[in-house]
Amino acid sequence: MNNMKKKLVLFASVTIALASCQTPPKEDYSWIKKGLDVASAQLQLSAEEVSGTGMLPRSIRTGYDMDFLCRQLERDSLTFKDSLRAQPTPEQLGKRRLCGVYDWTSGFFPGSLWYAYELTGNDILKTQAIQYTNLLNPVRYYKGTHDLGFMVNCSYGNAERLAPNDTIAAVMRETADNLCGRFNDSIGAIRSWDFGTWNFPVIIDNMMNLDLLFNVAKATGDHKYKDIAIKHAMTTMNNHFRSDYTCWHVVSYNNDGTVERKQTHQGKNDDSSWARGQAWAVYGYTACYRETND
C-alpha cells in the first residue's frame, strides 16, 4: 500500500512538472487590429464623402418595428405615435443622417476621428480630425445648450490632447464660460433645457458635460470650473437617484432649490430605469471620482 502511494505521488509530481514546462498558448489579438482597420476605413470614407457640406455624420437611418416598440412601451399601436423617432422614407433607409454644428451630437464624429488617429497613428485620420474639429469653431459662442461638453470636449478636448496648438485653449475656455453661465448657485446645478414647461430642468445627461469643466480648470488653474462641476454633481446625486440607484431622466427645480418634479422625458415612463441615462450617470460619476478622489 505504501509503495502504491509513493508511485501515485511520483506520478502527480511528474505531471505537475511537465505541465509547468509547457508554454501557454499565445493570445491572438488580430481581431483588435481588424476592428480598428474597419473602423478607420469607415471613418475615412465618411469624412471624404461628407467633406464640403458643412455637416457632420450623426447616424445611419434605419427603420424599426413599431409593433415591437409598442409592446416594449405597453402602448396601443393603433393610437401611439412616436413623434421623436419618425420612420425614414424608403429613399433614406441605409443612408447617413447628417447634423449641423449646433446639434448635440456634433462633437462625436471629430472625437471618433481623434480616437482612431490615437490608436493607429494614421496621419490621414489626424488631418480629417482637424478639419471636422475646426468646423465646430462657432460653438464657442453658443449659449443655448448644456451639451457643450459633448460638442467641444469630444472635438477640441481631444485635439488639445493629441495635437495641441495656441487656439484650442481659448475655444475650450470660452465654451466652459458659456456652460458656467447656465449654472444657478441657489439651485446648485447647470440648467439643461430652455424649452418645455419645467421651471429649471436638469437631465442626467448633463453629467457627461462636466469633463469640459474639469479639463479647463486644469488648463487654466482656475478652480471655479471644477467647483461648479462638483456642485452640479452633488446636487444631481442628492435628487436624481432612487433607493435602488436607478435615476430619473429629468429633475426640475424651483427657484429656491427645492424639487419641482421628477420624470422621464425619453424612457418608458417616469418610474423606469432609462438605460442611456443610467449610462450617462455611470460615466459622469466615474469622471468625477477620477478628478476628485471623493
* Domain membership flag for residue 198: yes
Q: Which three cell numbers stand for residue 3?
A: 509503495
CB distance 36 to 120 below 8 Å? yes
* Domain membership flag for residue 83: no
* Domain membership flag for residue 123: yes
pLDDT of residue 225: 98
* Domain membership flag for residue 190: yes
172 and 212 inside one domain: no
Q: Which three cell numbers stand for residue 30?
A: 488580430
pLDDT of residue 75: 76
Mean pLDDT of 36-42: 96
How many domains does the chain divide into? 2
What 8-state DSSP symbol labels residue 217? Answer: H
- List the domain range (segments joined by +) for residue 145: 31-61+94-181
Domain final residue, candidates 181, 203, 231: 181
Q: How confident is the model at residue 26 (pLDDT cuts 50, 70, 90)?
A: confident
pLDDT of 18 over the 70 cut? no
Which residues are bridge partners to 272 per DSSP? Answer: none
225 and 248 inside one domain: yes
231 and 166 inside one domain: no
Would you list the DSSP string of 110-127?
HHHHHHHHHHH--HHHHH
250 and 238 inside one domain: yes
108 and 128 inside one domain: yes
pLDDT-wise least confident of 90-94, 177-181, 183-187, 268-272: 268-272
Burial class (CB in 10 A: 0-12, 13-18, 19+), 118: middle
Burial class (CB in 10 A: 0-12, 13-18, 19+), 54: exposed
Closest CA to 232 of 121, 149, 167: 149
pLDDT of residue 138: 97
Mean pLDDT of 272-280: 89
171 and 148 inside one domain: yes
Domain final residue, candidates 150, 181, 212: 181
Q: Which three cell numbers stand for residue 235?
A: 446636487
36 and 175 inside one domain: yes
Mean pLDDT of 172-189: 98
3-state secondary structure of 64: coil
- CA triple 246-247-251, angle to 5 deg: 160
Domain final residue, candidates 154, 181, 208: 181
State how far the Cα of 110 lies from the Cα of 128, in Å rounded to an integer.
Answer: 8
* Domain membership flag for residue 202: yes
175 and 189 inside one domain: no
187 and 177 inside one domain: no
What 8-state DSSP symbol labels residue 152? Answer: I
Closest CA to 97 of 145, 63, 142: 63
pLDDT of residue 89: 86
Summarised one tens digit per residue, pLDDT across range 212-260 is 999 999 999 999 999 999 999 999 999 999 999 999 999 999 999 999 9
pLDDT > 70 fraction of the chain, expressed in percent and rounded: 89
Closest CA to 287 of 220, 225, 221, 207: 207
171 and 258 inside one domain: no
Summarised one tens digit per residue, pLDDT across range 105-153 is 999 999 999 999 999 999 999 999 999 999 999 999 999 999 999 999 9
Burial class (CB in 10 A: 0-12, 13-18, 19+), 231: middle
Residues classed as catalytic: 147, 205
pLDDT of residue 87: 76
Summarised one tens digit per residue, pLDDT across range 64-91 is 777 887 787 787 766 766 555 667 888 9
193 and 123 inside one domain: no
